């Protein structure tokens, strides 16, 4: 029964793939070719990025189906390019040029050609092997006769149905096709995805380039992490020197004065004791704030979700936090994610003029994903010198990425992804 169920599911999947492969691939291939051709007229600089983005989305959907339906993993081969390209025509031309220089773009177009020809041919056998049996029995139950009387026989595969005997043979052959489908249907769907992987997966040269880019990025983020650590250490030293240390020194001087005056002027000594008690309390508060800035206690004790919720309660505007985490990430990842969210919320308050913020955190497919959305004025950009660039560098230490969507007038959505496993 399990094999039969799998074969029926594969047949439905094959029918879906046949339709989607034909319609989607033909439409996108035609649009892509026309859009690239229109670059000579100038129009293509505006249409090509949008069309190629649709092609990449379509290919990404194929990757998702391949992994979910047949366990076929198809890696992503695309190059990354800066999100802060110049606005207007110049930025549009640069974006279009970068896409056309990416070898993965041309492999996607090759895949569209294959997916509209060989892809449907492979996939259509999965439903055909099952449904053909029904047609064989329809012929055997007498439908062959009016067809024959209307002007000739009906061909069922290689059987020319001209009599009840040949109709019965067609029904038996249909049953054979059905049994064959039960055996091979999952393999046919998998073959369809393997054909896609041959064109959508990165080539060895592309993998080497991806590895080199990743090494360069990790080297850059390692330097950023070292610089950030040095700057953080200087900040801690400065805060200790200017805050708690100064209060403790003053308290020590007050205690020395108290020791000298306690017998000659008890009233003044009592006043200095109260002042020393106040200094000690303020020094303790500053030390607690300093420790919270280094690593919030609630983050260590209760995890990222509760730490962000506690942070949201201290903000001067409503923040709705949604957490779907089944475990805890490593302490360094939690710390990086916490401070990234904290800085993003600070930006929303200071610069976006937001009245409400939503934070969504979940973990899927080995990736911690955090989205911070505000209803502010928008216009945030990910570029050198911005606070978002600092967040990107922080996440880059863990091979994480940051994406920003912030049209003029809002809303602004900052999405963070950090590869990690939960325990």
Domain residues of the chain, as ranges?
Answer: 1-202, 207-294, 301-419
Distance (Å, whole) CA 304 – CA 342: 12
Tens digits of residue pLDDT in 386-398: 667 777 777 877 7
Is the Cβ–Cβ distance between 370 and 395 less than 8 Å? no
Per-residue pLDDT at 263: 67
Length of the chain: 423
Mean pLDDT of the chain: 78
Query: What's CA 242's distance to the chain center, in Å?
Result: 43
Three-state DSSP class for residue 73:
coil
Q: What percent of the chain is predicted at pLDDT more than 90?
A: 13
Q: Which of 15-24, 171-180, 260-269, 310-319 has the lowest mean pLDDT?
A: 260-269
Query: Which pLDDT band holds residue 190 (cuts at 50, 70, 90)?
Result: very high
* Span 202-215, average pLDDT: 72
Query: Between the ranges 162-166, 207-211, 278-282, 381-385, where is the mean pLDDT highest?
Result: 162-166
pLDDT for residue 225: 55
Instruction: Report whether pLDDT(305) > 60.
Output: yes
User: In whole angstroms, what is the distance from residue 147 CA to residue 154 CA?
Assistant: 7
pLDDT above 70 as % of the chain: 73
- Assess contact for 378 and 409: CB atoms under 8 A: yes
Instruction: Read off the pLDDT of each residue in 147-155 and give the average, rounded to a whole number.
Output: 69
Q: What is the pLDDT of residue 54?
A: 92
Neighbouring C-beta atoms of residue 284, cutoff 10 Å: 12
Cβ(376)–Cβ(353) under 8 Å? yes
pLDDT at 184 over 90: no
Which is higher by pLDDT, 237 or 116? 116
Treating both helix axes as pointing N-terminal to C-terminal, what angle do 266-294 and 245-261 enclose, rounded to 10 degrees? 160
Kindly report which listed range (225-229, 270-274, 344-348, 410-414) carries the lowest average pLDDT score: 225-229
Give the pLDDT of residue 89: 60
Q: Within a 13 Å sphere around the CA of 296, how many CA atoms are in the beta-carbon half?
A: 19
Q: Read off the DSSP letter of residue 135.
A: H
Output the pLDDT for position 28.
Answer: 94
- Most confident listed range (109-113, 366-370, 376-380, 381-385): 109-113
pLDDT band at 420 (very low <50, low <70, confident <90, very high): confident
Are residues 421 and 329 in contact, defined by beta-carbon separation less than 8 angstroms? yes
Residue pair 394/228 in contact by the 8 Å Cβ criterion? yes
For residue 321, what is the enclosing H or E element?
strand 319-324
Which H or E run includes 367? Answer: strand 367-374
Top CATH class, 301-419: alpha beta
Top-confidence residue, 264 or 65: 65
Residue 232 scores a pLDDT above 60: no
In the structure, what pLDDT confidence band is assigned to residue 192 with cuts at 50, 70 and 90? very high
For tokens 């360094």, the residue is 332
Contact in structure between 10 and 186 (CB atoms under 8 Å): yes
DSSP letter at 87? S
- Edge-to-edge order in the sheet of strand 412-419: 319-324, 357-364, 367-374, 412-419, 401-405
- CB-side neighbour CA atoms (13 Å) of 8: 4
Is pLDDT of 260 > 80? no
In terms of average pLDDT, the best of 74-78, 142-146, 277-281 is 74-78
| Displacement of CA 60 from its chain's centroid (Å) | 11
Measured CA to CA, the distance from residue 47 to residue 321 in angstroms comes to: 38
């Amino acid at each position: 029964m399990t094999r039969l169920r799998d074969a029926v599911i594969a047949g439905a999947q094959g029918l879906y793939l046949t339709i989607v492969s034909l319609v989607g691939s033909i439409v996108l291939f035609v649009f892509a070719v026309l859009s690239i051709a229109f670059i000579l007229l100038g129009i293509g600089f505006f249409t090509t990025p949008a069309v190629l983005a649709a092609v990449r989305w379509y290919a990404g959907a194929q990757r998702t189906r391949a992994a979910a339906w047949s366990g076929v993993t198809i890696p992503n081969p695309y190059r990354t390019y800066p999100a802060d390209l110049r606005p207007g025509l110049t930025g549009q031309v640069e974006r279009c040029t970068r896409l056309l220089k990416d070898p993965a773009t041309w492999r996607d177009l090759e895949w569209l050609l294959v997916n509209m020809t060989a892809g449907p041919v492979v996939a259509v056998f999965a439903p055909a092997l099952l449904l053909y049996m029904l047609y064989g029995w329809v012929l055997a139950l007498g439908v062959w006769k009016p067809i024959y009387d209307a002007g000739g026989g009906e061909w069922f595969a290689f059987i020319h149905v001209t009599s009840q005997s040949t109709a019965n043979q067609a029904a038996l052959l249909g049953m054979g096709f059905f049994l064959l489908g039960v055996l091979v249907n999952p393999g046919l769907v998998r073959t369809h995805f393997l054909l896609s992987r041959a064109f959508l997966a990165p080539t060895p040269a592309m993998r080497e380039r991806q590895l080199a880019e990743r090494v360069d990025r990790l080297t850059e983020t390692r330097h950023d992490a070292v610089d950030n650590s040095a700057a953080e250490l200087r900040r801690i030293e400065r805060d200790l020197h200017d805050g708690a240390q100064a209060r403790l020194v003053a308290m020590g001087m007050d205690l020395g004065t108290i020791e000298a005056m306690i017998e000659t002027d008890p009233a003044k000594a009592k006043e200095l004791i109260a002042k020393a008690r106040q200094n000690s309390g303020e020094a303790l508060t500053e030390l607690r704030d300093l420790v919270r800035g280094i690593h919030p206690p609630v983050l260590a004790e209760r995890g990222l979700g509760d730490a962000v919720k506690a942070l949201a309660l201290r903000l001067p505007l409503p923040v709705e936090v949604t957490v779907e985490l089944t475990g805890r990430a490593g302490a360094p990842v939690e710390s990086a994610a916490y401070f990234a969210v904290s800085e993003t919320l600070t930006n929303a308050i200071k610069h976006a003029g937001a009245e409400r913020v939503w934070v969504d955190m979940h973990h899927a497919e080995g990736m911690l994903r955090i989205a911070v959305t505000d209803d502010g004025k928008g216009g945030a950009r990910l570029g050198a010198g911005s606070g978002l660039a600092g967040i990107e560098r922080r996440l880059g230490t863990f091979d994480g990425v940051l994406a920003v969507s912030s049209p003029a007038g809002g809303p602004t959505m900052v999405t963070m992804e950090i590869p990690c496993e939960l325990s």
